[in-house]
Structure 1
Amino acid sequence: MSSRYAIHFITLLTILATIPYFAVQGQDSAMVCRYAAGNVLTAASRQGTAVEDIYLVRFPNYPGSRVLSELGVLKSPSPQFHIVRKIPADTTVTVWRANNNWKASPKLLDKLESLHPADSLTIFANTSAAGPFTVLAHPSTNVYEVRLAKKDWPQFATAPQLQAADVSRLPRTEATVANSDLRVNRVSTLHANLPGLRGSGMRISLKESLYDTTDLDLRPRYIPTATAPDRVDAHATLMATLIAGNGNSGPLGTGAAPQARIASSDFTRLLPDAAASFTTYGLQAQNHSYGTGIENYYGLEAAAYDEQQFETDTFLHVFSSGNIGTNAPGEGIYSGIAAFANLSGTFKQAKNVLVAGATDGSFHVAPLSSRGPCYDGRIKPELVVYGPGGTSDAAALLSGIGLLVREQYRLQTGQALPAALTAAVLINSAADVGAPGPDFTSGFGAVNAWEAVKTIMERRYVMNAVQQGGSFTFGITVPPNTHSLKITLRYTDLPAAANSAVALVNDLDLWVTDAAGRRYDPLTLSAFPHRDSLVRHALPGRDSLNNTEQVVLRLPAAGDYTVHATGRRVMGAQRFAIAWQLAAADAFGWDNPAVSETLDAGTEHTLRWSTTITGPGKIYYRPGTGNWQPVADVTEVAEEKGAWVAPQAFGMAQLRMEAGGKVFDGPLFRLAPRVKPATGFICEDSALVWWRPATGAAMYRVYRLNGDGYVLFAETRDTFFAFRPSAVPSGIIAVSAVADAEGPRSEGHLVSAGVPGCYIRNFTADLEATGEVKLQLELGTAVGVAAIRWIRQGAVLGSAAPSNSLNYTATDAQPPEGIVYYHAELELQNGRIIVSDAVPVQVTGASGFIVFPNPASGKIMLMSKALRGQRIVITDMQGRICRVLQQEALLQEISLHGLPAGIYWIGVYENGRKLYHTRFVKVQ
């Protein structure tokens, strides 16, 4: 046994039972020290076992889920080690009686092993068993906070009612760099097609830190709650913006549901918030963009979230999968397999919540995105969403999209959308990415917001319930020339007991039959703990692990099909939802630009479309009803994206795709320039913003931010606008160009940002190598300026007439020696004078040195052009040395204290060479 595990072994002697040395090494030794309660059971001792005994068994290799199920598996700490209720008949299996440590999470056991027997710790458990423990109940989740000494853990763990125990962990947010693009998952397509669907009436909670409630894109939609955290964090602000930013700051500040309202809840308590609080504050969903590290078990939090989701029915929880996608788990049947089974938190092992992974803009799953399978082989994440900054972004966008789906359902039915139907619709409408069918990296595919809402609009869903052995069927007619039929079943399952070896309780089956009676089963994945199995493509089969099942028919024959949902193993009646989608062969549809959308002129755009066509294509463009012009060749249309630099134009435009021998014209959209306002000046009584002319613009509209939105302030044909600052309390202005129609509004511009003064942005005066002084003036605007004057030491040095330029220069060819002060002076057309700050310039002349004042009394100043540690010597008229000192500054003060009145010489020397020599007078 290694020294590390020997220490663990000695420690555990004090808290468990006497654990002898076993003939096992390395990781095996650690497992035995942690979970065994005695010696290896011999063949004879195996005969005397009791029905209630629990065993630790070691197989030479992973025995498979069927064998473990027959043995009554309780926990699988590794592929070889398992906690079971029955002793295997296989004589190659080593058997020990198990202690009760299997009820504890790996992190709790780590904590116990690190403590002294007398030390105390706080744990969370599903019971408050009697004993020398301090208990604080959490009745809302049936989880208790218990304070106990390490030595008391064995007694606490023997309680029959104890299912699981864990310790508090510190959550960490899961985003790096923010970058929003609503076009990737077709949110912008949804916004363009349904401009009235913006999350109105929807309310969501962010479980993490508090977001900035004063943020330009989020005010004033904060919902104060009793669970709100105190600390404001930029990550939370980003999540809130991705979900519900209203775009006041600009396009990147627009979220999926920009009219939704947002609450915050502290994530330092990882258990679910009380369901009653959701009702109190009218909340419909909660976003969880955080993690705690790889936790491959069905812990207290996973069971609690499943229970809450089951009881609330219509509430939706969305989690990020994690940002540790390349890591390998250290516990469970998938331990040691890199880039699999690394979801960051046991709460993400819950079956009834949605978990989101992250993709780039081309639907490639990011390497950092955590992936499945779950500890028991279930598919996670269910979905992937654009999240270049991490899976936090992906979860937030999925939450926002979920709000829009729920809003559409409420508009149509007047009711709240069940969580199971929300999941079924989002999963069924997702685009298959990565390996064909579901996989443990991308789940069931990349979210498509527009297709999800269309599923609700077209009522392509059913909801029903089945009991044990019961069945439900309905028909779907498949038209000719169909590319695929996809059907997804989802149900909110009963919560399993915490620490369950398998999370699924009720088992429903989905399958489809055609008119000839041929059966089509759902796609299933191999959950065997080996990399070769985990990367294997999905194949049709019966699913006994997941509460989501999906049947996909490729190129189905036209005709009538029957969808079946049956209760294979059901307690009571299990409600479920089924969504379906038909995709036509040779289908093509433009997503970006969408109908009536406005694209920025002169900017590169990513064009996006949805299609079932494969092969090359060619993109064309035409302005209005003009001639078609080639834009780009597309190597593979199935990649569904292309680049286009929009021309500098103002007006209607259209795109065309030629692919698969067909022509697909896109909707009419608008090209218009986006202006960028800047501040010309801001004074106490007036301010001015300006912008560069926009090609084709006939006029401009100026908006001011008022509350949580913009209101029209003025219209002008000029490229500047003056106003009183008091008329814009928010200080934020936006501008749009107008021709035959209005172009996109600019980003919100804070008028006072980066503006140091009134009219004058910057004034400098610099001594050139030629001995001249160069003066430079930068204005915020020349509008209203009548004259510019250059001032030296209070006297006018010269003047300039204002022009269209904002930059002006002048030169003082013969500046006097010494410290000379310059400033610029503006005379406005209304007669007002505006003066810049004075700028001092040290002018030393040809010698490079100046002594002043002269005559002097208490001190003189020596000004130098360069500092090289020169020696300064003061002598009287008889040549006697009065002072010797080192030059330490370009402007050095020299005290004359103690020198009698008279005439003196001061000299500057470098390496024995005289650089400067002059006389000065010392007066009384």
Structure 2
Amino acid sequence: MYYKKPTYSYGLISSLIFSLFGFLTVYGQSETKKELIRINSNQYEMRSFVSELEADLQSKEAKINQVLKTKGWKKTEKLKDGSIVELKDIGTDGTPLYYTTLNDPSKQVSRANALYSDGLLDLGLDGNGLQVGVWDAGVALTTHQEFDTRAKSGDGTTEVSSHATLVTGNLISSGVKPNAKGVAYGAQVLSHNWTKDKIEVAEAAANGLLLSNHSYGIKSDRVPDWYFGSYIKTSKDWDKIMHNAPYYLMVTAAGNAQKSFDNESPNFGKTADGFDLLLGFATSKNGLTIAGANTKIGNKGELKEARVASYSSLGPVDDGRIKPDLAGDGSSIFSTNSTTNTSYDTSAGTSMAAPGVTGSLLLLQQYHEELYGDYMKAATLKGLALHTADDVDSQGPDYKMGWGVMNAKAAAVTLQNKGYSTLVDEETLLEDTTFSITVNANGTENLMASISWTDAEGEYINRGDLNNMTPALVNDLDIRITKNGKTYFPWKLNPKKASSAATKGDNLVDPFERVEVENAKGEYTITVTHKGRLKNGFQDFSLIVSGAQISKCSIDAPSNIGLLLSSTNSSTISWSDAEETLYEIQYKKFNGDNWKSEFVWENNFEITDLEAGIVYEARVRSICTENMLSDFSETISFEFNGYETELYAYEPFGFGESLKIMVYPNPATEWIKVEAELSKDAVYSIVTTLGNTLRKGSAIESIDVSDLASGLYILMVEDHSGMKSTKFYKD
């Protein structure tokens, strides 16, 4: 058995320093980070596959041209509702496959707005420095006023598409018109015509592209029934691209065919029920297929109501996988139009729901890079989105909106709490091994664990078999949570009972599994195993856990702060200890403008290069994650004397009552007296607000202040139990 010790927050120190103090002012996908993605992509396999795709494209274009010539059909047409239809492919059975844009006659629904500056989380995210690919019926109007210079043609296409412009605006519009502001309004779009989509995506993904949006698909009224829900060659091709470029994730619209009555032989129910309508790359395993939702969101980002949009295509796919994966807002989206550089339009459909999710995912990649210095693999990003989605209606996933409505706010909080109450880890399972980790439930929320992996392309391709249930899954991983002999299983759906609620059991078809333990208390073991042989002898996977006590870190403000000892050029501050806690200590000259910060794991810190006769201030706080910080401790003041002493020789710091002092009368005229339990050795210092020491003496006697000028002063008292200060005013 392979046992992995939980990952605590020790690796957070550098990222915390950057995120807390803003040292990293420019984020983005640098060439160095693109090179890391290139290294992790299977370049040889991708080059070979691109050559195969190019040859395949030439063959298909020849077949298409022959069909067009023989049948007298149009290759491209524009329908009355504005949709663009183009003969794009020839199926393995000879069926002409028409691609169509998926609009039908966002950021709030996905909670992406919580990640903006002044949003609920106030993270300042906008996608700046990141690129997202858009493939569509043409390219966006790159000169539109909402895009600045951030929309560019990625393939040199000059044919401008109104639909591509709408999609691009939903992604990156800057907000010249505020209600048209895009989800990732600082990002850059590389806009492409869909003609060579697989070839161009394969090349871009191998060279660092993280995300692409595809708001189009096969037109549902021009294919035989067996196509619906089938894993066909185009499904396999896209899975192969994602498998060989593990940082790249494809996001596609589910389609708008729910009321089309196009599938007369669905794998569940009657045609009018609207099930079994997903086509082409919408049935791929590794990508995200996005449904449209009608929702109500509260002012704190909570989902109050959600239902699948009446147009949105439903699953299941034929092998029973959970598709669509997620839902986004596709209703009445106001966005850019290509008529002029200042024109806008309103559109609805899964075409608009998909870019809302794509933009949210891009912000999460930006946030992960800011926190941890690198990007998530696609399986991690996908798993995070599914793990944190808002459940809808009955518990668990369904074939209407998958795992629920995208919740970027919850996903960002999961990233923030990594190493504290969550895990977001990228692991590898070797053949014939077991991965195991033990965690404690935090007792305040359900314990939830998910695994997500980018699976190898399916081995079976449907070539005409109606509702064939052969699984597309190649490497079947399993996750379980156990405690005291009881095993908790993941969610799964049954395509033969597509309208029924999800159940729990052995999931044989999905490359994402989620296990939940309600009212979890105590220690649990999370185990990941596999069935059969693993292709290539291993499978990378991502583990997401929430509702756990990963670290014993304390976010209580440190107590008992005080001086421990001094030397000729330094003083050491000490405070109460807590396990696995990072401390930030701040210090400065008394009434100085800027605090100096240091980070330590120990509960003491030596402040060096101090000046004798100067008064300093110090305070400490606990840090568990970027989102888990305590308040600062009380501020202590101390005068550095420049000689060596142990300040707590009689009563070591932390084992007695801290010294508490008051001074009276206050304001004072002639004299003051210290009110505290003092030893005969207690001494005082009177310090100006500029840090200059005026006088010293015994603190157990009345102190003459008659000759002091009017103003504010600090009285510092040092005794065996420590040093304390208070302020008084001299009339």
Shorter-normalised TM-score: what interval? 0.5 to 0.7
Matched with 1:283 is: 209
User: Which of these two proteins has the greater Rg computed from alpha carbons?
Assistant: 1
Q: Is the 2:107–2:360 contact (alpha carbons within 8 Å) kept by the matching residues of 1?
A: no
Q: Secondary structure at the match of 1:171?
A: strand
Matched with 2:490 is: 522
Matched with 1:543 is: 507
1:217 aligns with 2:185: no
Give the Cα–Cα distance (whole angstroms) in 2 for the partners of residues 559 and 449 of structure 1.
29
Deviation at 1:555, TM superposition (A): 2.2
Q: Is the 1:357–1:369 contact (alpha carbons within 8 Å) kept by the matching residues of 2?
A: yes
User: What is the one-letter code of the residue matched to 2:188?
Assistant: R
Q: Secondary structure at the match of 1:170?
A: strand
Which structure dedicates a bigger proportion of its chain to helix?
Answer: 2
Give the Cα–Cα distance (whole angstroms) in 1 for the partners of residues 431 and 189 of structure 2.
41
1:255 aligns with 2:217: no
Give the Cα–Cα distance (whole angstroms) in 1 for the partners of residues 367 and 55 of structure 2.
31
Give the Cα–Cα distance (whole angstroms) in 1 for the partners of residues 323 and 288 of structure 2.
9
- Over residues 463-506 of structure 1, what are the superposed CA-to-partner deviations in whole Å (9 max), with x where a residue is unaligned? 212133321111232123x3422222111001013515321111
Deviation at 1:549, TM superposition (A): 0.9
- Over residues 427-461 of structure 1, what are the superposed CA-to-partner deviations in whole Å (9 max), with x where a residue is unaligned? 10111012321110110111111111222222231
Give the Cα–Cα distance (whole angstroms) in 2 for the partners of residues 483 and 415 of structure 1.
29
Q: Is the 2:266–2:276 contact (alpha carbons within 8 Å) kept by the matching residues of 1?
A: no
1:320 aligns with 2:253: yes
Question: Residue 446 of structure 2: which of 484, 508, 511 is its match?
Answer: 484
Matched with 1:502 is: 471
Matched with 2:434 is: 471
Matched with 1:721 is: none
Q: Is the 2:104–2:256 contact (alpha carbons within 8 Å) kept by the matching residues of 1?
A: no
Q: Secondary structure at the match of 1:564?
A: strand
Matched with 1:93 is: none
Q: Is the 1:340–1:373 contact (alpha carbons within 8 Å) kept by the matching residues of 2?
A: no
1:385 aligns with 2:385: no
Deviation at 1:142, TM superposition (A): 6.4
Q: Is the 2:327–2:405 contact (alpha carbons within 8 Å) kept by the matching residues of 1?
A: yes
Written as runs of structure 1 = structure 2, the 5 A alignment for 1:413-812 is: 413-459=372-418, 460-480=423-443, 482-497=444-459, 499-500=461-462, 501-514=470-483, 516-528=484-496, 533-556=497-520, 558-569=521-532, 570-571=534-535, 572-582=537-547
1:243 aligns with 2:145: no
Matched with 1:307 is: 240
Give the structure-2-normalised TM-score. 0.55
User: What is the one-letter code of the residue matched to 2:115?
Assistant: L
Bigger relative CO (Cα 8 Å, ≥ 6 apart): 2
User: What is the one-letter code of the residue matched to 2:249?
Assistant: L
Give the Cα–Cα distance (whole angstroms) in 1 for the partners of residues 320 and 58 of structure 2.
29
Q: Is the 1:524–1:540 contact (alpha carbons within 8 Å) kept by the matching residues of 2?
A: yes
Give the Cα–Cα distance (whole angstroms) in 2 for the partners of residues 527 and 381 of structure 1.
13
Deviation at 1:235, TM superposition (A): 1.9
Counterparts in 2 of 1:504 and 1:142: CA distance versus 1, 3 Å: farther
Give the Cα–Cα distance (whole angstroms) in 2 for the partners of residues 507 and 412 of structure 1.
32
Give the Cα–Cα distance (whole angstroms) in 1 for the partners of residues 403 and 357 of structure 2.
14
User: What is the one-letter code of the residue matched to 1:213?
Assistant: T
Written as runs of structure 1 = structure 2, the 5 A alignment for 1:160-175 is: 164=92, 167-175=95-103
Counterparts in 2 of 1:187 and 1:141: CA distance versus 1, 3 Å: farther
Matched with 2:714 is: none
Q: Is the 1:141–1:271 contact (alpha carbons within 8 Å) kept by the matching residues of 2?
A: no
- Over residues 204-253 of structure 1, what are the superposed CA-to-partner deviations in whole Å (9 max), with x where a residue is unaligned? 11110211212221121123322x43322222122112111111222x12
Written as runs of structure 1 = structure 2, the 5 A alignment for 1:189-208 is: 189-191=114-116, 192=119, 193-208=121-136
Which structure dedicates a bigger proportion of its chain to strand?
Answer: 1
User: What is the one-letter code of the residue matched to 1:314?
Assistant: Y
Counterparts in 2 of 1:234 and 1:492: CA distance versus 1, 3 Å: same
Q: Secondary structure at the match of 2:234?
A: helix
Matched with 1:364 is: 307
Give the Cα–Cα distance (whole angstroms) in 2 for the partners of residues 163 and 236 of structure 1.
25
Counterparts in 2 of 1:551 and 1:298: CA distance versus 1, 3 Å: same
1:187 aligns with 2:112: yes
Q: Secondary structure at the match of 2:97?
A: coil
Matched with 1:897 is: none
Give the Cα–Cα distance (whole angstroms) in 1 for the partners of residues 370 and 274 of structure 2.
41
Give the Cα–Cα distance (whole angstroms) in 1 for the partners of residues 191 and 130 of structure 2.
15
Q: Is the 1:143–1:300 contact (alpha carbons within 8 Å) kept by the matching residues of 2?
A: no
Question: Residue 405 of structure 1: which of 364, 367, 376 is its match?
Answer: 364
Give the Cα–Cα distance (whole angstroms) in 2 for the partners of residues 304 and 408 of structure 1.
30
Counterparts in 2 of 1:341 and 1:166: CA distance versus 1, 3 Å: farther
Give the Cα–Cα distance (whole angstroms) in 2 for the partners of residues 141 and 447 of structure 1.
38
- Over residues 146-203 of structure 1, what are the superposed CA-to-partner deviations in whole Å (9 max), with x where a residue is unaligned? 55799xxxxxxxxxxx9945555232111236xxx42222122221123421112210
Give the Cα–Cα distance (whole angstroms) in 2 for the partners of residues 416 and 141 of structure 1.
33
User: What is the one-letter code of the residue matched to 2:354?
Assistant: A
Matched with 2:8 is: none
Give the Cα–Cα distance (whole angstroms) in 1 for the partners of residues 543 and 51 of structure 2.
39
Written as runs of structure 1 = structure 2, the 5 A alignment for 1:838-857 is: none
Give the Cα–Cα distance (whole angstroms) in 1 for the partners of residues 199 and 472 of structure 2.
18
Q: Secondary structure at the match of 1:408?
A: helix
Deviation at 1:277, TM superposition (A): 3.3
Q: Secondary structure at the match of 2:209?
A: coil
Q: Is the 1:242–1:253 contact (alpha carbons within 8 Å) kept by the matching residues of 2?
A: yes
Question: Residue 353 of structure 1: which of 249, 273, 287 is its match?
Answer: 287
Q: Is the 1:341–1:374 contact (alpha carbons within 8 Å) kept by the matching residues of 2?
A: no
Instruction: Mark the runs of 5 or more structure 1 residues left unpaired by the alignment.
Output: 1-135, 151-161, 585-924
Q: Secondary structure at the match of 2:414?
A: helix
Give the Cα–Cα distance (whole angstroms) in 1 for the partners of residues 196 and 376 of structure 2.
27
User: What is the one-letter code of the residue matched to 1:174?
Assistant: L
Give the Cα–Cα distance (whole angstroms) in 1 for the partners of residues 56 and 242 of structure 2.
15
Instruction: Mark the runs of 5 or more structure 2 residues left unpaired by the alignment.
Output: 1-49, 68-89, 221-226, 297-305, 332-347, 463-469, 550-731
Give the Cα–Cα distance (whole angstroms) in 2 for the partners of residues 450 and 269 of structure 1.
35
Give the Cα–Cα distance (whole angstroms) in 2 for the partners of residues 466 and 579 of structure 1.
15
Matched with 1:843 is: none
Give the structure-1-normalised TM-score. 0.44
Q: Is the 1:204–1:260 contact (alpha carbons within 8 Å) kept by the matching residues of 2?
A: yes
Q: Secondary structure at the match of 1:445?
A: coil
Q: Is the 1:408–1:457 contact (alpha carbons within 8 Å) kept by the matching residues of 2?
A: no
Counterparts in 2 of 1:166 and 1:580: CA distance versus 1, 3 Å: farther
User: What is the one-letter code of the residue matched to 2:129?
Assistant: G
1:233 aligns with 2:177: no
Counterparts in 2 of 1:574 and 1:341: CA distance versus 1, 3 Å: farther
- Over residues 347-378 of structure 1, what are the superposed CA-to-partner deviations in whole Å (9 max), with x where a residue is unaligned? 11100000110111232111211111112111
Counterparts in 2 of 1:285 and 1:166: CA distance versus 1, 3 Å: farther
Give the Cα–Cα distance (whole angstroms) in 2 for the partners of residues 339 and 264 of structure 1.
36
Q: Is the 2:258–2:312 contact (alpha carbons within 8 Å) kept by the matching residues of 1?
A: yes
1:145 aligns with 2:104: no
Q: Is the 1:383–1:446 contact (alpha carbons within 8 Å) kept by the matching residues of 2?
A: yes
Deviation at 1:338, TM superposition (A): 3.6
Give the Cα–Cα distance (whole angstroms) in 2 for the partners of residues 504 and 332 of structure 1.
21
Q: CA RMSD in A?
A: 2.7
